[in-house]
Amino acid sequence: MKGFIKEILIAVVIALVIMQFIKPTIVKESSMEPTLYANNYVLLNKQAYRFGQPERGDIIVFHTGLKLENGKEKMLIKRVIGLPGEAITIRDGLVSINGEPLDEEYTKDGFTDGDVENLVIPEGEMFVMGDNRLVSVDSRVAEVGCVKIDDVLGKAFVRLYPFNQIRTF
């Protein structure tokens, strides 16, 4: 009996440690197509920015001030486009960072709507957008704006489901 209790305690401790570093999440909407689709199952690294800095291209889940119909907070999953101190411009469907156009092969339509003119991203914040730019609610919208690094729940590092589309990010 002692051995059984010891094994259960070890399993509980391992589970608690894993929960400190990894959070599973399910994609709910289409704003990250074609990279992620609704009902994709993704694992997040909850400690990604505790020891490192965000990089352009990271896919993150973050807290917002937006609310769901049931009153709960709406979290969003988006791609990091602009980093602290960079100037972002969106004009004529193209995104530029510090005057250099971005090569964004991951976007659904290859076009970014909206106009942003030389927005300098504040320290400790990021400019994020979905890959499906025509439907994405992201940093281009005042209600979201630039995202504080402290508001990031985690960085997506693997898609586990559907099983035939498992991949790392």
| Residue 126 to residue 166: CA distance in whole angstroms | 27
Q: Could you tell me the two tokens for 76?
A: 């969003």
Give the pLDDT mean for 121-127.
97
Is 153 inside any structural domain?
Answer: yes
Please tell me the pTM assigned to this model: 0.89
Is 17 inside any structural domain?
Answer: no
Count the domains in the chain. 1
Residue among 127, 47, 46 at smallest CA distance from 81: 127
Is 42 inside any structural domain?
Answer: yes
Write down the pLDDT at residue 11.
85
- Which domain does 68 fall in, by range? 23-162
Write down the pLDDT at residue 97.
97
Residue-wise pLDDT for 15-29, tens only, equals 887 888 999 999 999
Residues labelled catalytic: 31, 78
Residue 152: give its domain's CATH number. 2.10.109.10
| Least trusted range by pLDDT, from 4-18, 21-35, 104-118, 131-145 | 4-18
Residue-wise pLDDT for 70-79, tens only, equals 888 899 999 9
